Structure 1
Amino acid sequence: MELNKFVATKARPLPVIIMADTSGSMGIEGKIEALNSALKDMITSFSTEGRMRAEIHLTVVTFGGSAKTHLKMIPAHQIEHVDTLVADGGTPLGKACDLVRGIIEDKELIPSRAYRPVIILASDGYPTDAYQASFTKLLESDRAKKATRFALSIGADADNELLKSFGNDLEAPLFYAKNASEISRFFRAVTMSVSNHSRSQKPNDVMTLDYVVEELADDDLDIPL
C-alpha cells in the first residue's frame, strides 16, 4: 500500500464533567481549599496524558449561590488557567443539572464519536432549589444513562440518598469524604482511573474506581465505600 494512503487516526474525546458544590458550607473546615487543590492537580495530570487513542476533555460546573459553567469543555492539555472556586450561597443543584444536561446533549461540545463521558458530583449539603425535575431529566437523558457517574458525599450533612441515586457504579454507588484531606484523595483516585482508562485498549468501556482503590495503600486513600 502506498504511504499516502495511510491516514493518522485522530484521538477521540473522553469527556469529564465535574459538578462541584461551592455553597457557603464548603467554606469551612478547609473543604473549598481541598477542592481547589484537587482540581488543580487533576488538570495538571490530565494535561500531560498522551493522546494516541483518547483525548481527555474537561468541564467544571459549580453550584453555590448560583449555578454556572466555571470551566467550559476544553481539551485538558489546552487549559491555561482556572479561576479559584469560592464558597458562597445556597446549593442550587437543580440549576446545575440543567447546565450539565445541556452540555452532555450538545453534539458540538461532545460529538457522537466521543467516548463514554465521566460525570463526578461532589456535594456537602442538601439542595436548596426545586431540583427534583431537573435531577431526574439529567439522569434519564440518553447520554447521562450511558455515562460513568460517580458521587462524593462530603462531611456529615450531605444528602447521601440523593448522591447515591446519582452514582451508577453498582459496587460503589457513593464515596465518602469525612474531611478535606479525603476530598483530595478521592479526586486523585478519579484522576488516576480516568488517565489509565484513556490509555486502555477500550476507553469506551464503563470505568470503575475499584482497581485504583486497591492499588493505593490504606493510609493513602481512606475512602469508605
Structure 2
Amino acid sequence: MSILSEATEIPRKTMIMFFLIDTSGSMEGEKIASLNDAMRETIPDIKDISDSNADALIKIAVLDFASGTEWITPLPQDFDTFRWQDLEAGGVTDLGEACRELNSKLNRNSFLQDKVGNYAPVIILMSDGAPTDDFNGGLATLKQNKWFGAAIKIALSIGQDADNDVLAKFTGNSELVIPIHNKAAMKRMIRFVSVTSSRIGSAKAGDGFGHEAKEQQVVAEIQAERQELDPEENIDEGW
C-alpha cells in the first residue's frame, strides 16, 4: 500500500466550551435539577458536532460558583470521555471570583495550551441572582483578557430575580442574555444555545467569518429560536 493511499488524520485545533454555573442557594430545588437534566441531555449533541468537525475538536470546561469557585473539570475534557455529574446548590453568588478564576485559565500556559492551536472559546454563563462579591472588579480584570474579548459569550438569565444588567455586562450584548422562567424553557434553551454556539464557534474562520460575524449569527439564530418557543416555554411567570 502506498503512502498516498493511507488515510492520514489531520490534527485539529481545539475549541473549549466554558460553562460558568451559578450553584448558589437560590438555585436549589427545581432550578438546579432542571439544569442538571438539560446538561446531561445536551452533552451527546455537542459530542456529535465535535465528531463531525474536521477542523476543530470541542472540549468542555465547567466552573461551579457559589461561595467560592470550583472547576468540575480540572482541565478541559473531550466529550468522548466527559460524563455530567449533577451539581448541588448552596451558598452565595461569587460571580466576581468566577470572573477572576476564568481569567486565570484563559491563556496558553493553562487551558489554552493545545499545540495545534485554539479557536476562540465559547463561554456560557448561567445565573439566577445578583453577585454578592466584587463583580465589577472581577469583570474588569477579565475584560483585559484577549481570549475573553474574542469569545462568544452567552448568559442564561434564570428566573425573576436574575440581574440582567450584570449578565449583559458579562456578554457585552444584551441580545445574548436569554431569559428562562421554567423547566421547559431551561431544557430547550440550554440545548439550543449550547449546540448553536458550539457549531458556530468551531467553524473555520475566514471569508469574513470572524468574531463579529460569528456573534451576529449566534444572535440571529437565538432570536429565531425564541420566537418559536411555545407559550408555556416563553411565559414571564414561573421561577
Partner of 1:35: 35
Which of 219, 226, 230 is the equivalent residue of 1:219? 230
Partner of 1:196: 199
Q: CA deviation at 1:209?
A: 4.4
Partner of 1:164: 168
Distance 1:122 1:43, change over 3 A: same
Q: CA deviation at 1:158?
A: 1.2
Task: Name the aligned partner's letter for residue 173 of structure 1.
Answer: L
Partner of 1:55: 57
Distance 1:223 1:209, change over 3 A: farther
Q: CA deviation at 1:165?
A: 1.1
Q: Which moved more, 1:88-97 or 1:183-192?
A: 183-192
Partner of 1:102: 104
Partner of 1:111: 113
Q: CA deviation at 1:139?
A: 2.2
CA contact (8 A) 1:193 1:209 kept: no
CA contact (8 A) 2:58 2:202 kept: no
1:184 partnered with 2:207: no
Distance 1:165 1:146, change over 3 A: same
Unaligned 5+ segments in structure 2 are none
TM-score by length of 2: 0.81
Secondary structure, counterpart of 2:72 in structure 1? strand
Q: Which moved more, 1:84-93 or 1:201-210?
A: 201-210
Task: Name the aligned partner's letter for residue 3 of structure 1.
Answer: L
Q: CA deviation at 1:153?
A: 1.1
Secondary structure, counterpart of 2:41 in structure 1? helix
Partner of 2:12: 11
CA distance in 1, matches of 2:223, 2:171: 17
Unaligned 5+ segments in structure 1 are none
Q: CA deviation at 1:223?
A: 8.5
| Matched residues, number | 221
CA RMSD of aligned residues (A): 2.8
Partner of 1:25: 26
Sequence identity (%): 26
CA distance in 2, matches of 1:136, 1:14: 24
Q: CA deviation at 1:154?
A: 0.9
Q: CA deviation at 1:123?
A: 0.6
Q: CA deviation at 1:215?
A: 5.5
Secondary structure, counterpart of 2:153 in structure 1? strand
Task: Name the aligned partner's letter for residue 12 of structure 1.
Answer: K
Secondary structure, counterpart of 2:157 in structure 1? strand
Which of 115, 127, 132 is the equivalent residue of 1:128? 132
CA distance in 2, matches of 1:42, 1:140: 31
Secondary structure, counterpart of 2:176 in structure 1? coil
Post-superposition Cα deviations, 1:73-119, rounded to whole Å, max 9, x if no partner, equal: 1121221x332100001111122112111121244521372111110
1:145 partnered with 2:149: yes
Distance 1:199 1:156, change over 3 A: closer
